Amino acid sequence: MSLRSPLGHARGLGSAKTGAHHFWMQRLSAVALVPLTLWFVFSVAQLSGASYTGVLHWVREPVSAVALVLFLTALLYHSMLGVQVVIEDYVHHEGVKLTSLVLSKFAHLTVAAASIFAVLKVALG
Amino acid sequence: MSTPTSTPQRPLSPFMLGPYYKFQLTSVLSFAHRMTGIGLSIGTLLLAAWFIALAQGPWAYAAFAEHLTAWYGQVLLAGWSWALLYHLCNGIRHLFWDIGKGYSIPVAYASGYAVVAVSFILTGAVWALALYK
């Protein structure tokens, strides 16, 4: 007896071999975020009370600018993967699920593009 | 074998919540990981708004900073900083599980209490630095 579904049998195909990709990317971005987040949180704490020019100065430092771009990329990628899992776990209506997944991906990519562009505009401007 | 059967109406997650389930530290921390994760995803909007305001210039930045330094902004930042540091600490706990370490019940509880303690210590350290540097 085969555990394969009738459709899987008919198609005669195995797995797509990308099953672990989401899991692995979530862990990889998590590992990257450990140092980046600690750096960000303590840097921002040190900036508290800083003026507009003070914050501008910080973002313009090459190390800060590069670290911020890396932080925002890893953060929004990790967030996108995490929200996807939550939607897949709790939204059971197919149409609502698909719509939420697409909207979440678009929203994450928009926030990533806007925030990274803002950092680069400050850093290079 | 090929006759299609109707899909049985099984209960779907999170049906166990409510009368069937007794909460424990480990499950509460697991929920908290998801809840803080969702909260932090929404928090990325605030982060993006900060950089966008900075890029727009001193007037836009001043308008944004006014909200951040107001009491509700500070409450939001306090909650957000703890959520971030909790998710980070518990995330490290998850990474250890992913490599197969720390699964025994006593270790899972010990690491759970450690995560809660360290998340509050780190949050305290960040705010101490911010307020008394």
Give yes or no for a contact between A26 and A78, defined as CB atoms under 8 angstroms apart.
yes
CA–CA separation, B29 and B116 (whole Å): 9
Residue A17 — left, alpha, or beta (φ > 0 → left; ψ -120 to 50 → alpha)? left
Q: Which residue of A37, A41, A76 is in closest CB contact with B44?
A: A76
Residue B97 has pLDDT above 80, yes or no: yes
Tokens of B114: 């450690």
Identify the DSSP state of B102: S
Give yes or no for a contact between A108 and A80, defined as CB atoms under 8 angstroms apart.
yes
Would you state the pLDDT for residue A16? Answer: 67
Residue B1 has pLDDT above 60, yes or no: no
What's the distance, Cα to Cα, between the start and end of chain B in Å?
72
CA–CA separation, B93 and B73 (whole Å): 30
CA–CA separation, A43 and B74 (whole Å): 17
- Cα A116 to the center of its chain, rounded Å: 13
In chain B, residues with a C-beta closer than 8 Å to the C-beta of A82 are: 37, 41
Residue B77 has pLDDT above 60, yes or no: yes
Across the interface, whether the CB atoms of B130 and A46 are under 8 A apart is answered: yes
Tell which residue, B66, B80, B70, has the closest CA to residue B126.
B80
Task: Give the chain A residue whose CA is nearest to the CA of B13.
Answer: A90
ipTM for the assembly: 0.87
* pLDDT tens-place values along chain A, 125 residues long: 567 777 777 776 666 667 789 999 999 999 999 999 999 999 999 999 899 999 999 999 999 999 999 999 999 999 999 999 999 999 999 999 999 999 999 999 999 999 999 999 999 98
Give yes or no for a contact between B73 and B113, defined as CB atoms under 8 angstroms apart.
no
Q: What is the pTM of this model?
A: 0.88
Would you state the pLDDT for residue B8? Answer: 76
Tell which residue, B28, B91, B31, B49, has the closest CA to residue A79.
B91
Q: Which residue of B41, B51, B122 is in closest CB contact with A115?
A: B51
Across the interface, whether the CB atoms of A42 and B126 are under 8 A apart is answered: yes
In chain A, residues with a C-beta closer than 8 Å to the C-beta of B55 are: 117-119, 121-122, 125
B31, B41, B47, B133: which to substitute to probe chain A, counting the most A Cβ within 10 Å? B41
